[in-house]
Amino acid sequence: MLDIKYIRDNLDDVKAGLAKKGFIFDDIEFKRLDEHRKSALTKAQSLQAEKKKASKQIGALIGQGMSPEDAKAQVMGSIDADITDAEQAAKQAEQALHDLLMSVPNVPDAEVPHGNDEDDNVEVLTWGEPTSLSFEAKDHVDLGEPFGLNFDQGALVAGSRFVAMSGKMARLHRALTQFMLDLHTDQHGYTETYVPYLVNREALEGTGQLPKFEEDLFKIPAAQGDKDFYLIPTAEVPVTNLLRDKVNDIELPLKRAAHTPCFRSEAGSYGRDTRGMIRQHQFDKVELVQFVRADQSDAALEELTGHAEAVLQALELPYRKVILCGGDLGFSAAKTYDLEVWLPGQKKYREISSCSNFRDYQARRMGARWRNPETGKPELLHTLNGSGLAVGRCMVAVLENYQQQDGSIRIPAALQPYMGGLQAIS
């Protein structure tokens, strides 16, 4: 959520920044609601002051011999009812303004390029040369099916956009997950974290998935009493919300790594990537989350993105890094880098990680603060997260980049210890 004072003081800059995301900020409605909220609060406070003054008058009348009931009736009149009405009006005005601000995305950083969609993202660097094969490349579906990658079984037990794995494919999937977690916890300073796969509505509102993107989520109605649950779209949601609604006495930066399944309805993606594991309703991911102080967040984004890159480099998978343009930038993000891995089967780069700085936007929605030991005062945290990496897409990249002409798959050296020393799947 944006700071209301910042909006008031920088209205033109806010409008221009949000326009970069393709969002038209209704400044007239904002001003109307803001003024209504202020006038309602002022009226309620004025009536409270009148009541305090009236209480003194009642005391004086009682001192002159009037009964308490008569004194109160003479002085107070309808003031209690007026106060109740004014406070209710102020509460409604506060809620209306809050609802408006909850629907407003984060303002992009100045260096975010203009653009409408992924075609306008700007390449920052490339690492490695796209894999060149002396034979016609197969895609991961054809490569993996002989070794236990089974989309028919996934569809049998759940439906389209699900996969079942067995044998070497299940082992490779697990090996990638363990390798990523070990790399991030042993070398990059993250604490491994286990979190629920179901969250409440408040958690999704805190990180920005709700209220705008409910159609992208899997909802479980009234799972516990009258409270709805949602399957997590990413570990970002439960991990980031661990610090919500309190002042945290912690040392920053705080870095967490979590492996979870992720669940997405893929609303609006009908007809896209229907073959294989690129766009699934359920997939695994190792998520990296950092909580930092405001003056650390720019450097933290570069560091976190580097940690995701380290996975690709260790696996010797060619990739490129792009900065997202305004039109492709997420709702809550101020700045995002995408890492796109080369897939010989598709002959193109495809996203495998998205690393974002949210600044204090999520923390303000969550009420997540830390106590600055230098001042002793609470301050909003800055939050960042990124995929480190999406496990299924990483497996796709290994299958396609390490394929051999006879259909076998070489195992990257970094993964061999996690595969029981196996050097190839054949």
Q: 9 Cβ partners below 8 Å, 6+ apart?
A: none
Q: Which residues are annotated as a binding site for L-serine?
A: 234-236, 264, 287, 385, 387
55 and 182: one domain? Answer: no
CB 395 within 8 A of CB 140: yes
Residues 38 and 160 in one domain: no
Whole-angstrom distance, CA of residue 34 vs CA of residue 13 = 18
Q: How far is CA 101 from CA 88, 327, 339, in A?
A: 20, 20, 31
- Cα separation, 326 vs 370, in Å, equals 30
Q: Would residue 354 show up in a list of annotated catalytic residues for this protein?
A: yes
Cis peptide before 221 (omega within 30 of 0): no
33 in a structural domain: yes
Ramachandran angles phi, psi of 348, nearest 5°: -160, 165
Judgement on whether residues 389 and 266 belong to the same structural domain of the protein: yes
Q: Model's pTM, two decimal places?
A: 0.92
Average pLDDT taken over every residue of the chain: 94
Centre a 10 Å sphere on the Cβ of residue 46 and count the other Cβ atoms it contains: 13
pLDDT band, residue 104 (cuts 50/70/90) = very high
Annotation marks residue 351 as catalytic: yes
- Determine how β-strand 198-200 pairs with β-strand 254-263: unpaired
Are both 66 and 132 inside the same structural domain? no
Catalytic residue among 37, 354, 356, 369: 354
Place of tokens 């993996």: 144
pLDDT by residue (tens digit) across 114-128? 999 999 999 999 999
Last residue of a domain, which of 41, 69, 103? 103
Q: How far apart are the first and last CA of the chain?
A: 52
Check: CB of residue 207 under 8 Å from CB of residue 365: yes
Annotated binding site: 234-236, 264-266, 287, 351-354, 385, 387
Q: Is the pLDDT score of 60 beyond 80? A: no
When divided into structural domains, the chain yields a total of: 2
Establish if 406 belongs to a structural domain.
yes
State residue 74's pLDDT score.
60
Does residue 113 form part of some domain?
A: no
CA distance 115 to 306: 25
- From 309, 306, 339, 311, select the one nearest 324 (Cα to Cα): 339
Do 152 and 34 have their domain in common? no
Q: Verify that 98 and 127 share a domain, yes or no.
A: no
Which stretch of DSSP H or E encloses residue 171? Answer: helix 167-186
Whether residues 193 and 246 share a domain: the answer is: yes
Query: Does residue 122 share a domain with residue 59?
Result: no
E strands of 89-234, at which residues?
Answer: 122-127, 149-150, 164-165, 191-192, 198-200, 219-224, 227-231
The predicted-structure confidence for 246-304, as pLDDT tens digits, reads as follows: 999 999 999 999 999 999 998 777 778 889 999 999 999 999 999 999 999 999 999 99
Q: Is residue 57 part of a domain?
A: yes
Give residue 124's region: left, alpha or beta (phi > 0; psi -120 to 50).
alpha
Q: Would you say residue 53 has pLDDT above 90?
A: no
Q: Evaluate if residue 75 carries a pLDDT over 60.
A: no
Domain limits at 154? 118-425
Partners of residue 288 on adjacent β-strands: 257, 386
Q: Of 161, 264, 364, 369, which is the active-site residue?
A: 264
Tell me, yes or no, whether 218 lies in a domain.
yes
> What is the sign, positive or negative, of the torsion defined by CA atoms of 93, 334, 113, 266?
negative
What's the pLDDT score for residue 323?
Answer: 98
| Same domain assignment for residues 144 and 81 | no
15, part of any domain: no
Q: State the pLDDT at residue 85.
A: 87
**The domain spanning residue 374 has which CATH number?**
3.30.930.10
Q: Is 410 a catalytic residue?
A: no
Q: How far apart are alpha carbons 216 and 209 in whole angstroms?
A: 9
Residues 181 and 55 reside in one and the same domain: no
Mean pLDDT of 123-144: 97
Same structural domain for residues 94 and 126?
Answer: no
9: in domain: no
Residues 168, 246: one domain?
A: yes
Establish if 196 belongs to a structural domain: yes
User: 71, 103, 135: which is the final residue of a domain?
Assistant: 103
Catalytic residue among 279, 350, 371, 410: 279
β-bridge pairing 382-390 and 348-359: antiparallel
The tens digit of pLDDT for each residue in 329-351 reads: 999 999 999 999 999 999 999 99
Asked whether 257 and 286 are in contact (CB, 8 A), the reply is: yes
| Residue set of the binding site for ATP | 264-266, 351-354
Active-site position among 256, 320, 359, 393: 393
Per-residue 3-state assignment (H helix, E strand, C coil) for 388-403: EEEHHHHHHHHHHHCE
Angle between helices 167-186 and 391-401 (to 10 degrees): 110
Q: Indicate the residue among 73, 103, 133 that finishes a domain.
A: 103
pLDDT over 90 (residue 64): no
365 tagged catalytic:
no
